[in-house]
Structure 1
């Protein structure tokens, strides 16, 4: 494709900052750069028609980790690392809400619950045992107890008697959030080009030559916000993790409100109006789900449906309206990678399935590296 003079002049000349990825991290990076450098030219390149990873494909949980997930993290990270991580997620949620407004993103503070299948007795007992300790660890951050036990008032079947409740959790409308962020970016004169795949870049003394296939252009700084697609950038420290999701048709008299977690966060569901949105189960096939292919598999979809029909809404005739998947970025550590890769190249990746919570913070940190 041969660009016109006007296209070159208005989009690809004197580019100060080029951001790869137009999801939560990429757009927050752009907005923060605009605050810091009001007169700069900021360009965002996105390989999809819409953000291609998880930003428009997630389940809309405004959460910072279930009790079993936090207990598990305490086995693999220091206490301080876990506190810092939760602080980052909590701060990120507040930043997102402040920037866009609760009404716009349809934030609903219904609280979050964790349930335990009858066969998960050891995890259940472990969580009940660790609950006071985790509350103590989080006390300086929330000035209150975060987790408490609650009886199963939702008529879930095949689970242990108590659920663990967290009043600080909420849900949002993911589509509304991303539309609002895109509008905010446009209002701040951040140029977004979709269907543009960066196939290579070459660093020079005064900037970076970026190759998008048909043409190349120069930018002073190049910032990657590609999360699950960042494996080659980070020498494999980030791996893609596919998350499969389904949503039901409307269910009359649905009495379930809130966000719900199971099995260390590997399963999650919520109400969306009078539907149930349910996702997860990648722990059934870690190898198969370490992929950037946006597809569904029978193994996982069947398991999600089984949970829906046996545990969440037993003995009800429920129809599935739609299925999809998104790509998260995970690694052996939960800490995000926000770093300068070379003189003019930076990245903010590995959000560990917590993009809604942490994406705004990571975007801000990424922009502040420059």
Structure 2
């Protein structure tokens, strides 16, 4: 692709900071950099027409982990690590709400619920460990976080007791990303879409960046591609595809809130009188370790079956849309926010908690400089 003199001069010359990825992390990083360095020239390059990973494709859960997820995390993390993971998610959600405002992102704190399949022993484990988890998290909330309630939603094929967390909320993901993008553009930060960064190398105080369209130079390179981070040499992050579907509007929909099933591998919520339902990665963990934004028949079939048999057993519905997003995961849930080399930095591995921690990770990434 041959650029004109004007294009090169206006967009690709004397760049102080280049951010790879225009998702939650990248946009928040750009805003923080602009606040700290108001005269800096900042460029964001994005591989998609819209943010390509998970920022515009997630379910809009303003959550910090269900009871079973936290219990599961305690099997691979220390209590102190889990406590600080939850704290980071709470702090990140608070920052997001302060930056954009609850009305702007349509934040609603309707509570979060957890369903327990009759085929598993998760309910027994959660009931026995609920007190210990509440004690662990009480300093963060000054209240008990988790309790159990009767299944008044009439979900089928699950225990009558639902886990409940009053502090969980939901947002409109599209409104959040549109507002963040508008704030960035109003700040004088440039965003170039449909540009894939393929490689880069450092030479003295300059980073040479090669894209699928052109090459350019920047003083600092900040990688915020999360699920695509391994393509830029960050091997600690693996892609994890999450498949989603949404129904057409349902009259007299009685389900309100955010809902978790099977340790968070399935999740659903109400939005615009519809049910948005995602998950099923656990049915093919290796196959879903991909950056391909597609769907697979067996996972989509599993989602529809659960909708029919468990979530909406006595309600007719039609599927309106299907899509997928790419998360960034790893053997640890703590995000990677670090300096990679002299002039290259990264903020990645959000572990499916992008809405909760994306704003904070973006700020932390900017503050590495």
Taking the TM superposition and a 5 Å limit, the aligned residue runs for 1:108-127 are 108-120=108-120, 122-127=121-126
The alpha-carbon deviation at position 192 of structure 1 amounts to 0.3
Residue number in structure 2 paired with 1:50: 50
Residue number in structure 1 paired with 2:21: 21
Structure 1 distance, partners of 2:181, 2:197, is: 20
The alpha-carbon deviation at position 316 of structure 1 amounts to 2.2
Secondary structure at the residue paired with 1:286? coil
Secondary structure at the residue paired with 1:76? coil
Secondary structure at the residue paired with 1:289? coil
Q: CA RMSD in A?
A: 0.9
The alpha-carbon deviation at position 36 of structure 1 amounts to 0.9
Structure 2 distance, partners of 1:38, 1:270, is: 40
The answer on whether the counterparts of 2:223 and 2:347 sit within 8 Å (CA) in structure 1 is: yes
The alpha-carbon deviation at position 235 of structure 1 amounts to 4.7
Secondary structure at the residue paired with 1:288? coil
Residue number in structure 2 paired with 1:210: 209
Instruction: Provide the aligned length of Structure 1 versus Structure 2.
Output: 369
The alpha-carbon deviation at position 214 of structure 1 amounts to 3.6
Q: Deviations over 1:26-52 (max 9, x none)?
A: 000100101111110000000100000
The answer on whether the counterparts of 2:48 and 2:193 sit within 8 Å (CA) in structure 1 is: yes
1:151 aligns with 2:150: yes
Residue number in structure 1 paired with 2:269: 270
Inter-CA distance 275–214: structure 2 relative to 1 (3 Å threshold): closer
Residue number in structure 2 paired with 1:70: 70
Residue number in structure 2 paired with 1:311: 310
The alpha-carbon deviation at position 94 of structure 1 amounts to 0.7
Secondary structure at the residue paired with 1:75? coil
The alpha-carbon deviation at position 233 of structure 1 amounts to 4.0
**What is the TM-score of this pair, normalised by structure 2?**
0.99
Residue number in structure 2 paired with 1:257: 256
Q: Structure 1: 5+ residue runs without aligned partners?
A: none
Q: Deviations over 1:103-140 (max 9, x none)?
A: 111111101000101111x1110001110100000011
Residue number in structure 2 paired with 1:357: 356
Structure 1 distance, partners of 2:288, 2:92, is: 27
The alpha-carbon deviation at position 344 of structure 1 amounts to 0.1
Residue number in structure 1 paired with 2:31: 31
Give the stretch that moved more between structures: 213-222 or 323-332: 213-222
Structure 1 distance, partners of 2:134, 2:161, is: 17
Secondary structure at the residue paired with 1:231? helix
Taking the TM superposition and a 5 Å limit, the aligned residue runs for 1:165-184 are 165-184=164-183
Structure 2 distance, partners of 1:213, 1:119, is: 49
Structure 1 distance, partners of 2:315, 2:113, is: 22
Residue number in structure 1 paired with 2:40: 40
Q: Deviations over 1:147-196 (max 9, x none)?
A: 11111110111111111111111111111110001001011111100011
Residue number in structure 2 paired with 1:79: 79
Q: Deviations over 1:247-305 (max 9, x none)?
A: 00111100110000011110000000210000001000001100000111111111111
Structure 2 distance, partners of 1:357, 1:224, is: 19
Structure 1 distance, partners of 2:165, 2:186, is: 36
Structure 1 distance, partners of 2:143, 2:119, is: 31
**What is the TM-score of this pair, normalised by structure 1?**
0.98
The alpha-carbon deviation at position 232 of structure 1 amounts to 4.2
Secondary structure at the residue paired with 2:332? coil
The alpha-carbon deviation at position 324 of structure 1 amounts to 0.5
The alpha-carbon deviation at position 234 of structure 1 amounts to 5.0
